[in-house]
């Protein structure tokens, strides 16, 4: 049976609720892959390097023969790994360019009684598709507010009521110098973008949705530039929570974290804080005076936030005044503004 090759759009549609197998090497898979795909590498990293070197030195035929020598003893294991992961007879397969690796693996599955479909153009075509989606026009509205305003919690309380995209959740980072503390390790940029696209495609692009106001970089993950340009022009719902309440929120949020990690974060912004403030913050962390540390760092972040707003030339800023840090109450205030503005 000939293996059917599908264009990327059809491949993604057909992949719903089916096993997707990435047959590239482990290092390729780790750098970036389709969300939900499993890795059954046709060649491991060393084998792939060997074949690549042979291809350049002696040509395609020599490389193919060596590839067959490597793969032949593994054929039964490939089938076992695949069938152990799914009871569906249809399996989706891709390699880097949709060439020999995916076609060979697809042929093997077909021979074993499964039905394989491969991705035309491979992972490269998928990546091109992903990046183009960020260029589409979206009806964005940003949720803004100074550090400690509880924007992430507000979004969580809006789940099921207002559509939103959780960029900090995708990046495993809260955006500030302290943002990686207590979070899972950040993903490689390609995986961040692939997961970003996966969430974005679930949102109705014809309707407004919320995105937290972010810098282009969230930790070391970067928002795709085309999407970032749209964020720069989007209206902002800016929640204004009193300073003292934001201090309390930060103390509650970071109070149980490792002191040495907090110290390192302070050192990371020492140039901005200045030597005296940095020295005081490090001493206060040793003394458990977390409110004092939060107060000093918040003053720095407030200045930086306001400065960034003046640079971004935001067209519309919708102010939300509040006298509470309660995320449920503040979510209702944000929802009201979002709903009213969305009618225009």
Our measurement of the distance from residue 47's CA atom to the centroid of its chain's CA atoms, rounded to an integer in Å, reads: 30
Instruction: Report yes or no: 165 and 210 within 8 Å, Cβ to Cβ.
Output: yes
**Structure tokens belonging to residue 201:** 């495609």
DSSP-based three-state secondary structure for 11:
helix
Distance in angstroms (rounded) separating the CA atoms of residues 93 and 195 = 19
Q: Hunting for tokens 């913050």 — which residue is that?
A: 281
Q: Is-catalytic flag, 95?
A: yes
- The beta strand positions in the chain, using DSSP E, are 4-6, 19-22, 38-39, 90-94, 115-119, 140-144, 164-165, 209-212, 217-218, 221-222, 236-240, 317-321
Q: Hunting for tokens 């069938």 — which residue is that?
A: 83
- Choosing from 34, 42, 63, 95, which is the catalytic residue? 95
Per DSSP, 72 falls in state G
* Residues that are catalytic: 95
């Amino acid at each position: 049976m000939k293996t059917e090759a599908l264009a990327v759009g059809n491949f993604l549609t057909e992949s719903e609720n089916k096993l997707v197998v990435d047959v590239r090497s482990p290092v390729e898979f780790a750098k970036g892959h389709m969300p939900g795909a499993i890795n059954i590498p046709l060649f491991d990293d060393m084998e792939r390097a060997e074949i690549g070197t042979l291809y350049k030195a002696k040509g395609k035929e020599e490389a193919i023969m060596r590839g067959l020598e490597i793969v032949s003893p593994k054929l039964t294991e490939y089938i076992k790994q695949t069938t152990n992961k799914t009871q569906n007879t249809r399996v989706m397969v891709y390699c880097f360019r949709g060439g020999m690796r995916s076609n060979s693996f697809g042929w093997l599955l077909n021979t074993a009684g499964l039905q394989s479909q491969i991705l035309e153009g491979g992972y490269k075509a998928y990546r091109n598709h992903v990046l183009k989606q960020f260029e589409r026009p979206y009806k964005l509205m940003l949720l803004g507010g100074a550090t400690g305003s509880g924007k992430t919690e507000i979004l969580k309380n809006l789940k099921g009521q207002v559509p939103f995209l959780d960029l900090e959740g995708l990046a495993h980072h809260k955006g500030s110098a302290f943002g990686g503390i207590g979070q899972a390790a950040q993903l490689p940029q390609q995986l961040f973008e692939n997961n970003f696209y996966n969430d974005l495609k679930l949102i109705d692009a014809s309707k407004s949705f919320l995105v937290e106001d972010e810098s282009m970089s969230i930790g070391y993950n970067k928002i795709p530039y085309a999407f970032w340009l749209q964020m720069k022009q989007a209206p902002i719902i800016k929640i204004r929570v009193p300073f003292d309440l934001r201090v309390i929120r930060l103390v509650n949020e970071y109070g149980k974290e490792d002191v040495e990690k907090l110290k390192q974060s302070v050192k990371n912004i020492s140039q901005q804080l200045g030597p005296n403030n940095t020295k005081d913050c490090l001493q206060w962390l040793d003394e458990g005076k977390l409110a004092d540390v939060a107060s000093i760092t918040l003053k720095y972040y407030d200045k930086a936030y306001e400065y960034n707003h003046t640079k971004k030339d935001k067209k519309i800023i919708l102010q939300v005044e509040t006298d509470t840090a309660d995320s449920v109450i503040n979510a209702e205030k944000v929802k009201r503004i979002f709903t009213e503005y969305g009618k225009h």
